Chain A
Amino acid sequence: MAKRYTAESSEKWGWEELVDCITAPASYIFISLGLALTILLRPIGYVYLAIGIIASLVMYFVIDPKLRAVSDEYERRQSEFLEQVEKVSKWEEMK
């Protein structure tokens, strides 16, 4: 699945992030409320919990391939970037 992304396409913000911005908060809300109501044996709790788990699975499978691609591309250049950060911190490169 990770092969869908080229180095440059993985850097662009796209529909994957948009889907996650909906599913990730939904999973937080439904898992938390669902768990509380499930412990109290309320039937609606099971429904909320199921929605929350499905939302987090969707979130994970949508974003993970892209995150892997972003990571791989970025880590190639990380040491060069880190040197730059150290120079700024030591006033060797201040503009």
Chain B
Amino acid sequence: MEELRVSFHFLDWFWVITYLILMIGCGILFYQLGKRSEADFFLAGRGLPWWLPAASVYATHTATDTPMWIGGIIYKYGLRGLWYTFFSLWCAISAFVSTRIFRRSLAMSMAEWQSLRYSGLGSELLRGWLAGWQVFMNMFVLGWVGMAMGKVCQLLFGWEEWVGLVLFSSLCAIYVVSAGYWGVIMGDFQQGIIALLVIMIVSIWELMYAGGPGAIITKLNEMGQSWRLNPFAFTGWASGDFPILWFITLFVMAVIGGIGMGNFIDWYPEAQRIQSAKTVRDSSDSIFWGGLLVLTRNAFWAVALLGFFVLYPDIKDTSKYEIGWFRLAFESLPVGMLGFFFAAILAIHFSTISTHLNLGASYFTRDLYHHYLNPQAKEERLVWVGRLGTLVLLLGSFLMGSMMKEITSWLIFALWLQAAGIWLPSILQVIWWRFNAWGYLASWIANLGISWLVVWVLPAFGVFNKIPFFAKYFPMGLPDYIQFWILMVLTFFIYIPVTLLTKPDDEERLIKYYVMTRPIGFWGPIHKKAVAMGLIKE
């Protein structure tokens, strides 16, 4: 493959500059609404119709690195790679279960929810931990996505990677600082429409450039690669690179996980969108339809990437085939459309950056400053702290971006830990009244220790190879989906005893929470007390 360099003409720059003016102008336009209160700066006043947060769900989860990730898995696995993207099935369940419960709690953030669901010192420890974790995580995501933009700019213009990161994140911050979540949501709506249209048009364009559907299928058959067209081409129960056991793990994790809160990293931006919807019904609709749009988009990318594979079938370097969707577009689009496409990439980029700037700032302001430092702060001050928090997130993202290579493997481990060990406790806290703050805290701590053991320490000493079952079925080491189940079982034996050996949360708090949210599951004793107190009818 030759190095790709594109040259922009007047019309290309026209599109890019027009789009930037539109976005930054949007921030100025909604400045007056954003500055009214903390709830306006972070939730647009809790009054949005479902289609605005739905567009934001879609736009936020369409980032610059998303076509790279999907490009990688489709190039490697063919259409069966689409299953990787089905972890978002949790949205399908959540829309009618945990979204409904969380919206009724009215918590401004997931950290605040800890103060409503739990009581005492345990709830405060959880709130502080989640707030700090989320400020850090949003910085990391900003650094990660910003570096993906840096790579695209390097591919196109030959710029140093940090230039794309700093330039476009800073431009995006202008409207987030000005208008807060109002700017984010209005920007996301425009960006979502632009991104969806361009992804559809460019993917079909790329498909035709590769010869069209018929030619692609014929070529795949000639190459002996027809399995790439079959989404169900599994490689056995536990063998090969696409085993059924992996699929079952993903399916269970995603579908049952939808009942819980906080068991996926995507839950946190979704939680903000849920609370910004004007009614419970609007919040449910926004999560369901936003999630569906995300999966629809993936279908377009997948077919374009099959076209890329047919044109360039022998790429071994992951970093080369990951950018296949971008590369094919820049290779094939005519002058004028290149700039339009780049403007769409900016839309994709800004929607994610703006969300994480505002989301991280919300934890910084609501949960750290407002709750712990200045509970009586006036609305005007809280909005200014929100702006300061946005700038802290921006600067932190530059730092994270510069250290990305060093911290990525550590952070993937940390995310892993979050997904595997707290998956079940995040469900239990929704469905079981007796699960308390100490149990949830214990699950986070147990995860940390047991993840190190299961993922690194025990394999290094060959412990799993000495167990006949593992030695027989997984001689090359335990795959991550088996580690998931082991972690889940081992941590269970820590947080359940901790829960049962410590006192339940304060009864009055649990009754208030129950009456507000009417959670699903095992809440019988609390339900009976709420009925006895006349707070709800039997």
Contact B104 A74 (CB under 8 A): yes
Q: Is B375 a contact partner of A90 (Cβ separation < 8 A)? A: yes
Residues in A with CB closer than 8 Å to B376 are 90
A-B contact count (CB 8 A): 136
B537:A95 contact, CB within 8 angstroms: no
- B207, B213, B214, B292: which contacts A28 (Cβ < 8 A)? B292
A95 to B123, CA, bound (A): 10
Q: Does B502 lie at the interface of the complex (its beta carbon under 8 Å from any beta carbon of A)?
A: no
Whole-angstrom CA separation of A31 from B106 in the bound complex? 32
Residue in A closest to B220 when the chains form the complex, CB atoms = A40
CB under 8 Å from chain B, chain A span 25-84:
25, 27-29, 31-33, 35-37, 39-42, 56, 59, 63-64, 67-68, 70-71, 74-75, 78, 81-82, 84
The residue in chain A whose Cβ has the minimal distance to the Cβ of B90 is: A25
Q: Which of A20, A29, A39 has the most chain B CB atoms closer than 10 A to its own CB?
A: A39
Residue of B nearest to A29 (CB): B86
Greatest chain B CB density within 10 A among A40, A41, A42 is at A40
Q: When each residue 361-380 of chain B gets 1 if its CB lies under 8 Å from chain A and 0 otherwise, what string results?
A: 00000100011000110000
Whether a CB of chain B sits under 8 angstroms from the CB of A15 is no
Minimal Cβ-Cβ distance residue in B for A11 = B518
B79 to chain A, nearest CB (A): 6
Chain A residue nearest in CB terms to B508: A95
Chain A residues in 8 Å Cβ range of B104: 74, 81
Instruction: Compute how far the CA of A71 lies from the CA of B279 in the bound complex, rounded to whole angstroms.
Output: 6
- Whether A39 touches B213, Cβ cut-off 8 Å, given contacts A90-B375, A95-B120, is yes
Q: Does B100 contact A (CB under 8 A)?
A: yes
List of A residues within 8 angstroms of B281 by Cβ: 64, 67-68, 70-71
Partner-binding segment picked from B91-99, B141-149, B321-329: B91-99
Q: A67-B280, A74-B104 are in contact. Are A32 and B95 (CB under 8 A)?
A: no
Beyond A24-B92, A88-B116, whether A32 also contacts B509 by CB under 8 A is no
Interface SS majority for chain A: helix
Q: Chain B nearest CB: distance from A80 CB in Å?
A: 9
Task: Give B256-296 as 1s and 0s: 1 = Cβ < 8 Å from A's Cβ atoms.
Answer: 00000000000000000000000111101100100110011
Report whether over half of chain B's contact residues are helix, strand or loop; otherwise say mixed. helix
Option from A41, A75, A85 in Cβ contact (under 8 Å) with B279: A75
> What size tier do the contact residues of chain A reach?
35 or more
Closest A-chain residue to B519, C-beta based? Answer: A13
The verdict on A74 contacting B280 (CB below 8 Å), with A31-B296, A32-B295, A89-B366 known, is yes
Q: B8-50, CB under 8 A of A: which get 1 and which 0? A: 0000000000000000000000000000000000000000000
For residue A95, which residues in chain B have a CB less than 8 angstroms away from its CB?
119-120, 506, 508-509
Within the assembled complex, what's the spacing in Å between the Cα atoms of A25 and B292? 9
B370 touches A89 (CB 8 A): yes
Shortest A39–chain B CB gap in Å is 5
Instruction: Say how far B366's CB is from chain A's closest CB, in angstroms.
Output: 7
A24 contacts B106, C-beta separation under 8 Å: no
Nearest chain B CB to A68 CB, angstrom units: 6
Does chain A have a CB within 8 A of B204? yes
Decide yes or no: A85 and B284 within 8 Å by CB, A32-B85, A95-B509 being known contacts.
no
Cβ contacts under 8 Å, A64 to chain B? 281
**Proximity string of chain B (292-317) to chain A, C-beta cutoff 8 Å, 1 when within and 0 when not:** 10011011101100100000000000
A42 to B213, CA, bound (A): 9
Bound CA–CA A59/B376 (angstroms): 45
Known: A36-B303, A40-B229, A74-B104. A28 touches B89 (CB 8 A): yes
- Nearest chain-A residue to B505 (Cβ)? A95
Residues of B within 8 A of A35 (CB): 296, 299-300
Q: What CA separation (Å) do A56 and B299 show in the bound complex? A: 17
Q: Which residues of B contact A8 (CB under 8 A)?
A: 536-537
Could you tell me if B213 and A27 are in contact, using CB atoms closer than 8 angstroms?
no
Provide the residues of chain B in CB contact with A89, threshold 8 Å.
108, 112, 115, 366, 370-371, 375
Contacts of B116 in A (CB 8 A): 85, 88
Please, what's the 1-or-0 string for B425-469, where 1 marks a CB less than 8 Å from any CB in chain A? 000000000000000000000000000000000000000000000
Please indicate the chain B residues that have their CB under 8 angstroms from the CB of A85 in the complex.
Answer: 105-108, 112, 116
Q: Contact at B280–A70, with CB atoms within 8 Å?
A: yes
Chain B residues whose C-beta falls within 8 Å of the C-beta of A42 in the assembled complex: 217, 229
Q: How far is the CA of A17 from the CA of B280 in the complex (A)?
A: 15
- 28 example contacts (A-B, Cβ-Cβ < 8 A) are as follows A8-B537, A11-B518, A17-B96, A21-B255, A24-B93, A25-B92, A28-B86, A31-B295, A32-B86, A32-B299, A33-B79, A36-B82, A36-B298, A36-B302, A39-B204, A39-B299, A40-B229, A71-B280, A71-B282, A74-B279, A74-B280, A78-B106, A85-B106, A85-B107, A90-B370, A91-B375, A95-B119, A95-B506
Give the top 10 A-B pairs by smallest Cβ distance, nearest first.
A24-B92, A35-B299, A36-B299, A32-B295, A67-B281, A71-B281, A71-B279, A90-B375, A25-B92, A71-B280
Q: A28-B86, A28-B91, A89-B375 are in contact. List 11 more A-B contacts (CB 8 A).
A: A25-B93, A31-B295, A31-B296, A31-B299, A63-B284, A74-B280, A75-B280, A84-B516, A85-B105, A89-B370, A95-B506
